């Protein structure tokens, strides 16, 4: 009589269970990697945009308050994907203006703007 107890190897069920565990593990690893890349890109944008907004705001603060007007432009060849917009509005308090600098990354499709506000 032929006995199967002494045969070596894996059954189809064992192989399918192992493949299922491997597939679930790979999905979790790839999802984590994708989220990590997304977070790194967002952090890079936040750092660059805040630096550029602060730089533009420093230019505005150094200028004569009477010459500060709403304007827009870009950051040249150093930061080709970024543009800025300055919006100057009056406030309820006499001689006090609200100056808002908005930096936008044109290549990003969502969460692509950074805003900095100064009252002067």
Residue 109, by phi and psi: left (phi above 0), alpha (psi -120 to 50) or beta? alpha
Mean pLDDT of the chain: 91
pLDDT tens digit sequence for 37-92:
989 999 999 999 999 999 999 999 998 878 889 999 999 999 999 999 999 999 99
How is residue 116 annotated by DSSP? E
Q: Taking residues 96-118, what's their average pLDDT?
A: 93
How is residue 96 annotated by DSSP? -
Enumerate the domain spans of the chain: 12-119
pTM for this entry: 0.73
Whether 84 and 73 have beta carbons less than 8 Å apart is answered as yes
The token duo for 39 is 């977070």
């Amino acid at each position: 009589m032929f006995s199967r107890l002494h045969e070596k190897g894996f059954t189809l069920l064992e192989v399918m269970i192992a493949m299922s565990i491997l597939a679930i593990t790979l999905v979790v690893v790839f999802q984590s990697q994708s989220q990590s890349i997304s977070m790194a890109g967002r952090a890079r944008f936040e750092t660059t945009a805040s630096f550029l907004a602060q730089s533009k705001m420093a230019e505005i603060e150094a200028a004569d308050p009477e010459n500060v007007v709403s304007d827009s432009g870009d950051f040249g060849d150093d930061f080709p994907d970024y543009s800025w917009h300055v919006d100057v509005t009056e406030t309820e308090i006499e001689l006090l203006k609200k100056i808002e600098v908005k930096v936008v990354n044109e290549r990003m499709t969502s969460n692509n703007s950074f805003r900095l506000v100064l009252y002067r």
